[in-house]
Structure 1
């Protein structure tokens, strides 16, 4: 069988028609009707009052931190188990990331350990400025509990919902519980604009500040007057046109992702030592990536060995993210993170493209069985 990718775009709607309109009308840069429409459509979809398009999800997180006044010397609480883009913007601001361990059931930031860390910092007179919570692989974190903790200790909350567009916690969309939510439309995400991101907030002033900062902080665009440092973070009209077309198909995409996870669960969860990730009772996951945990003792092989063997079979699985506290620029020997370490050691992401074929999933399952 040919190579089976991890997660690739599915462009099967009005993408070509809308992009062609941009080309035909010469509206190809960061202005045009599709930028406004994409923002309005995503605002309506998520239930957020404001949405501001950005060049990517990382830019959205960086802009969110700037809006909330995060600066050098500040402390920002982050999960140790996440993609590096969740943490790098903290460094862009000159602030320090403080790592929090994850839960084994959601893979996301543990609310109890978050509160412990906040109390620990306050005792040292180091009140954190913000928390960045990530909904990893589309699985919602226990965001209501985390939001209550942030409110209790007067700490800003940013949701990195870049992988969880369409996921819900208690019927509410991820990205809308915190002060600011951030999304990504990279090529491997649920919907894509090639690159691209979005910032959402119910605070009108913060939304205007986001538009200001992401367009080079123009105080007078004609005379080129700028009164503070801004960024070239706006999305192009061509990308937004793709986003509009993709968002039109999002319910279909999520339904397919959920079918993929169900198929893996029904066929792999029966194997000794394999646990297929499932949503909790009070959440609705977009299952952006279907994932498994591999218990070496029960399965007879560790996840890294299984990962390598599957890659050799043309199955483009990938391991979970390496704990960020172990990377040289963020190394923190004081952080134990037992759950983070366990998830890194046992976790594998399975091919989950919207357009994956049933026979490809069967091949993946049979390959795992044959390996053992």
Structure 2
């Protein structure tokens, strides 16, 4: 029976097992413990921030980060339209209103020039813009060199959604360290995983202390259970943190394998008319997921044709994110659009990118794609 090759499955092994067993035997099963505190310190050191707070998901991290910069009812938060829905949902959790902005077609990251136009227009008409939430798409950082001065000039905090980008850099600076606060994700398909989990990272200790308080049901520091405000059950467990610590030790190796796979895809498609690897020129990406963009008029085939061919061989693919302004739940939302995100959704395809793929699986994927290209072009498969 053929085993399906998935897009980005968890990459875990003996090291993770040993860390989990040690955490179990220590007695620190739940909710907090020494592995949780150590995981926060180690991630903060990797990202280069003063501190971190580990929580139950990347979505929870975004929610707390937005609360930390004061987002609430009556506020506007600018969000890329090309993103996973959690980015926009977290804005709504606070009572604020997301306003969407289109992407740079070369990278999929938010269009900085378009964002500047939108921000100035929103400020001119008297909107209270509480934050901009750039998303480091598929493991490539936004152009923060261009974005941060624009937001600083207007006094608008940046909340970096680095859920997909742990280990990536921009100008040598680690993803997650840009802006007032960053949010990471350790979901099962991310570059490292804690099964489910996330983390806030920041130099703002007051914001982090506030997030930690809210994440533990806003319990007051008294012997009995005392609560003066609404909190959340968002803290990561000590066991999952132990898993994360082992994963973090292997991060560079996992990035290396994903980068090697992206390079092999790039070589495979280099001579194919009308096909490019999204963000291929970014040598500071963590290469979390590799996506191609197909111009059907030049290639003679559609991204969906390749997806169907790979599916017949039990190889999983996925379209690029469906833009938020096309999602029914956000259909009435305001935004500034160029059509770039819609084009990437229509013509983009994300290929298997996991670091857990063995050499046989990599060879199988490349062979199946090569056969598809040969069939379409009449050339011998590479």
Q: How does 1:250-269 map to 2 (within 5 A)?
A: 250-269=251-270
| Equivalent in the alignment of 1:154 | 155
SS at match of 2:53: strand
Are the aligned partners of 1:13 and 1:246 in contact in 2 as well (CA < 8 Å)?
Answer: no
Q: Which ranges of structure 1 fall in alignment gaps of 5 or more residues?
A: none
CA contact (8 A) 1:139 1:279 kept: no
Match of 1:5 in 2: 6
Equivalent in the alignment of 1:114: 115
1:214 aligns with 215
Distance 1:120 1:30 in 2: 46
Alignment partner, residue 168 of structure 1: 169
Note the alpha carbon deviations across 1:277-316, whole angstroms, 9 max, x for none: 34446x5011001111111111212222322232222110
With over 3 angstroms needed to count, the CA separation of the structure-2 counterparts of 1:142 and 1:201, relative to structure 1, is same
Q: Aligned equivalents of 2:133 and 2:212: distance in 1?
A: 21
User: Normalising by the residue count of structure 2, what TM-score does the alignment of the two structures yield?
Assistant: 0.94
Give the root-mean-square deviation of aligned CA atoms.
1.5
Instruction: Give the equivalent residue in structure 2 for 1:91.
Output: 92
For the 8 Å contact 1:277–1:292, the answer to whether it is kept is yes
3-state DSSP of counterpart to 2:159: strand
Q: Is the 8 A contact 1:102 1:109 kept in 2?
A: yes
1:192 match = 193
Unaligned runs of 5+ in 2: 377-382
CA 1:34–1:317 in structure 2 vs 1: closer, same or farther (change >3 Å)?
A: same
Structure 2 residue 367 is matched with structure 1 residue 361: no
Tell me the TM-score normalised to structure 1 length.
Answer: 0.96
Could you list the per-position Cα deviations for residues 137-178 of structure 1 after superposition, in whole angstroms to 9, with x for gaps in the alignment? Answer: 101111221111110111110111010000000000011011
Which residue does the alignment assign to 2:323?
323
Deviation of the 1:89 alpha carbon: 0.6
> 1:221-240 maps to which residues of 2 (within 5 A)?
221-240=222-241
Instruction: For residues 201-252 of structure 1, give each alpha carbon's deviation from its aligned partner in whole angstroms, at most 9, with x where no partner exists.
Output: 0011111111111111111352111111111100000000000000011111
CA distance in 2, matches of 1:366, 1:190: 25
The residue aligned with 1:300 is 300
Aligned equivalent of 2:60: 59
Distance 1:42 1:85 in 2: 22
Is 186-195 or 143-152 further displaced after alignment?
A: 143-152
User: Do 2:99 and 2:334's aligned partners in 1 also have CA atoms closer than 8 Å?
Assistant: no
Query: How far apart in 2 are the matches of 1:177 and 1:105?
Result: 21
- How far, CA to CA, are the matches of 1:163 and 1:334 in structure 2? 25
